[in-house]
Amino acid sequence: MPIAALTPDMQETFALTDRVVLGIESSCDETAASVLRRHQDGTVTLLSSIIASQDEEHAKFGGVVPEIAARAHMRVVDNVIEQAITEANIDYTELDGIAATAGPGLIGGVIAGLMAAKGLSMALNVPLIGVNHLEGHALSPRLAAPCPFPYLLLLVSGGHSQLLSVKGLGDYERLGSTVDDAAGEAFDKSAKVMDLGFPGGPNVERAALLGNPKAYALPRPFARTGHANFSFAGLKTAVARAWESSDKSDAASADLSASFQQAVCDVVCDRTSNAMDMFLRGAPHEAAPHRFVVAGGVASNHAIRAALEALCEARGFALLAPPLRFCTDNAAMIALAGAERLAAGERSDLSIKARPRWPLDGAAAAANPMSGSGRKGAKS
Ligand code: KG4
Ligand code: ZN
């Protein structure tokens, strides 16, 4: 990504005074804008966070349709930004920086948000910063509470399932990733198979409340391997097979949802425990409790949260789970990551391009691409 350094005096002003940053998010199916104030001491005050969801438009297809998503972002992005400015009770001229997701994500949507950001940056003559959506998730706990580096991060969303050691701004070590589907994708596809509606995660969780988690014997891919990688494709296929041979009743969908959710809980905890070992090997000087953050849409699942809480308790980690509104896609995390990058003296050139793929730990992804590789580059 083309990054130009701020001139030393601009950088100093950015880091040493209160600065107001607009964040724009459009990488999947939420169009979001947020304004926050970054104080001189690095703390932030959230002034607004607006999210326009496209769930209804994608529901009849049982998943996000990229073309529909891109059009919807283009249709509403200006309005969502306007609402964020109004709710923050500021004028556009009070903005000191514009941050927008520049990837990874569905390219049409990313372009829509990034173009809006470029226009505002030019019109207001303030710095633009293209943000990695995953960095937004990685820093999201800091929107709610102090969360010093380093910490172990589990990012489980519709597009990603990763375990990362977050050592500092821009300093991420990938400990594990998915070799095929993301956890949220498995929830969405399982929901589709059982006709539970979109988005699948919350519907599977609701159905699971009435089911027996031991009713179906589903696989736990990569169990007891010692590494921190995930595979959800086989689990999803097992759900489809089990559903086919069931009586397709409400009781069957409740039992299968509960069994599937339990399998995801088990897999997530097993791999997180392995990642905890790796994290501790990398930071032996750190005294307990170590920090463990769970972020991404799947982190809003109560059963998964409870299982991770128990794991943290057993392993001497403190669980930091951002409030649900910061777990799913939002622009506050993009504004935060952008404000941090700007304060560190970075800015993006207006020629910055949207990136469908953009791993956080670029070196690990290039050396050992877990999912997606070749001409388009590694996904994770
Ligand atoms: O982070 P997010 O909003 O968007 C992405 O960046 O992907 O995550 C959306 C994903 C969807 O797959 C959705 O089904 C899943 O998070 N999700 C859940 C729950 N709420 C949302 N999965 C399991 N249980 C939930 N309660
Ligand atoms: Zn996300």
Q: Which of 321, 354, 375 is a domain's end point?
A: 321
Number of domains in the chain: 2
CA distance 22 to 36: 7
Q: How many angstroms does the Cα of residue 346 sit away from the middle of ligand 1?
A: 31
Instruction: Judge if 40 and 109 occupy the same domain.
Output: yes
Report the atom number in ligand 1 closest to the C-alpha of 137: 1
CA distance 68 to 53: 12
| pLDDT tens, the chain, 380 aa long | 434 444 555 554 566 689 999 999 999 888 999 999 999 888 999 999 999 888 888 887 877 888 888 898 999 999 999 999 999 999 999 999 999 999 999 999 999 999 999 999 999 999 999 999 999 999 999 999 889 999 999 999 888 899 999 999 999 999 999 999 999 999 999 999 999 988 899 999 999 999 999 999 999 999 989 999 999 999 999 999 999 999 999 999 999 999 999 999 999 999 999 999 999 998 766 777 899 999 988 988 999 999 999 999 999 999 998 888 898 899 999 999 999 999 999 999 999 999 999 988 877 777 776 654 434 444 55
Output the domain CATH number for residue 241.
3.30.420.40
Residue 372 domain flag: no
Q: How many angstroms does the Cα of residue 165 sit away from the middle of ligand 2?
A: 18
Dig out the tokens for 170 from the structure.
């821009």
**Buried-exposed string 342-375: b where 16+ CB fall within 10 A, e elsewhere:** bbbbbbbeeebebbbbbbbbeebbeeebbbbeee
Instruction: Judge if 183 and 280 occupy the same domain.
Output: yes
Is residue 26 within 6 Å of ligand 1 at its C-beta? Answer: no
According to the model, what pLDDT value does residue 6 have? 47
According to the model, what pLDDT value does residue 57 have? 84
Instruction: Judge if 98 and 208 occupy the same domain.
Output: no
Residue 14 domain flag: yes
- Please say whether the beta carbons of 30 and 64 come within 8 A: no
According to the model, what pLDDT value does residue 135 have? 95
Instruction: Judge if 61 and 21 occupy the same domain.
Output: yes
- Residues near 302 by Cβ (< 8 Å), separated by ≥ 6? 205
Instruction: Judge if 135 and 154 occupy the same domain.
Output: no
Residue in 369, 361, 372, 376 with CA at minimum distance from that of residue 132: 361
Is residue 136 within 6 Å of ligand 1 at its C-beta? Answer: no
Instruction: Judge if 152 and 136 occupy the same domain.
Output: no
Instruction: Judge if 228 and 184 occupy the same domain.
Output: yes
Instruction: Judge if 290 and 153 occupy the same domain.
Output: yes
Residue in 162, 183, 182 with CA at minimum distance from that of residue 228: 162
> What is the model's pTM?
0.88
Residue 375 domain flag: no
Instruction: Judge if 173 and 117 occupy the same domain.
Output: no
Residue 373 domain flag: no
Instruction: Judge if 206 and 297 occupy the same domain.
Output: yes
Residue 377 domain flag: no
List beta partners, residue 129: 99
Is residue 372 within 6 Å of ligand 1 at its C-beta? Answer: no
Is residue 28 within 6 Å of ligand 1 at its C-beta? Answer: yes
Q: How many angstroms does the Cα of residue 10 sit away from the middle of ligand 2?
A: 31
Residue 46 domain flag: yes
Q: Which of 299, 321, 343 is a domain's end point?
A: 321
Cα angle, residue 56 at apex, residues 55 and 61 outer, rounded to 5°: 85
| DSSP assignment string, 298-324 | GGG-HHHHHHHHHHHHHHTEEEE---H
Is residue 201 within 6 Å of ligand 1 at its C-beta? Answer: yes
Among 27, 64, 178, 187, residue to substitute to test ligand 1 (most atoms within 8 Å of Cβ): 187
According to the model, what pLDDT value does residue 288 have? 76
From atom 2 of ligand 1, which residue's Cα is the shortest distance away?
297
Residue 362 domain flag: yes
According to the model, what pLDDT value does residue 128 have? 98
In the chain, the amino acid numbered 10 is: M
Q: Which of 267, 291, 321 is a domain's end point?
A: 321
Instruction: Judge if 317 and 337 occupy the same domain.
Output: no
According to the model, what pLDDT value does residue 349 have? 96
Residue 284 domain flag: yes
| DSSP assignment string, 201-220 | HHHHHHHHTTS-TTSS----
Instruction: Judge if 356 and 236 occupy the same domain.
Output: no
Is residue 140 within 6 Å of ligand 1 at its C-beta? Answer: no
Residue found under tokens 């930071």: 283
**Domain containing 11: what range?**
3-141+329-367
Report the atom number in ligand 1 closest to the C-alpha of 191: 14
